[in-house]
């Protein structure tokens, strides 16, 4: 669970939004990682952004319920040629606003020590991904968008200790 803050919004302000690829680059600066792990970290950053900031952290934050968990089609297109190999650290990263950095740091502390397979397994037992997979066989490709309402409801319940 992401650590509770005393504010529903960081510093009481609404959060600045960035491109989802900038979020991915920030995580990649922490360590080289697989595409699967990167996808899940970005998903959790977006989901917790909705809970902690009452807004999205990214301007293009669509995540779909694929076989191996939440996937951003935009990030998939960017990194699909890496396959199962680790993605190297970017040479330069855009400077991100402080409010966003607080969310990303919290996500990194909570999920960063886990591998891609562990994050996949975690996402599979959570309601947002499960709800988007209703009617889709476990090994069947799916492209249903994971609902922001489902993310907000589910991760808010964890944040508030109801889950």
Local structure of residue 15 (DSSP, 8 states)? P
SS3 of 70-111: the string is: EECHHHHHHHHHHCCCEECCCCCCCCCCHHHHHHHHHHHHHH
Average of per-residue pLDDT across 114-124: 97
Provide the pLDDT for residue 162.
65
* Residue 114 located in a structural domain: yes
Domain residues for the domain of 78 are 15-159
* Residue 8 located in a structural domain: no
Provide the pLDDT for residue 163.
57
Could you report the per-residue pLDDT of 76-113, keeping only the tens digit for each?
999 999 988 999 999 888 898 888 999 999 999 999 99
* Residue 3 located in a structural domain: no
In the predicted model, is pLDDT for residue 11 greater than 50? Answer: no
Average of per-residue pLDDT across 106-130: 97
* Residue 61 located in a structural domain: yes
* Residue 120 located in a structural domain: yes
In the predicted model, is pLDDT for residue 12 greater than 60? Answer: no
How far, in Å, are 11, 13, 14, 159 from residue 66 at the CA level? 35, 34, 31, 25
Provide the pLDDT for residue 1.
54
Domain count, the chain: 1
* Residue 9 located in a structural domain: no
Provide the pLDDT for residue 61.
85
Could you report the per-residue pLDDT of 50-64, keeping only the tens digit for each?
998 887 888 888 999
* Residue 23 located in a structural domain: yes
Average of per-residue pLDDT across 42-51: 94
* Residue 102 located in a structural domain: yes
Tokens of 73: 């089609």
Q: What are phi and psi of 86, to 5 degrees?
A: -70, 145
Distance CA 75, CA 163 (A): 30
Provide the pLDDT for residue 92.
86
Average pLDDT across the chain, whole number: 88
In the predicted model, is pLDDT for residue 6 greater than 80? Answer: no
């Amino acid at each position: 669970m992401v650590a509770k803050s005393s504010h529903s919004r960081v510093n009481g302000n609404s959060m600045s939004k960035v491109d989802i690829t900038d979020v991915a680059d920030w995580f990649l600066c922490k360590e080289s990682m697989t595409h699967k792990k990167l996808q899940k970290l970005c998903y959790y950053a977006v989901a917790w952004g909705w809970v902690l900031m009452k807004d999205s952290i990214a301007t293009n934050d669509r995540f779909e319920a694929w076989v191996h968990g939440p996937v951003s089609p935009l990030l998939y297109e960017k990194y699909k040629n890496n396959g199962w190999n680790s993605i190297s650290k970017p040479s330069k990263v855009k400077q991100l606003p402080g409010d966003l950095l607080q969310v990303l740091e919290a996500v990194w502390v909570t999920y960063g020590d886990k591998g891609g397979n562990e994050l996949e397994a975690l996402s599979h037992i959570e309601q947002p991904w499960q709800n988007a997979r209703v009617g889709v066989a476990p090994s069947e490709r799916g492209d249903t968008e994971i609902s922001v309402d489902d993310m907000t409801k589910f991760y808010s319940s964890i944040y508030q200790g109801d889950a």
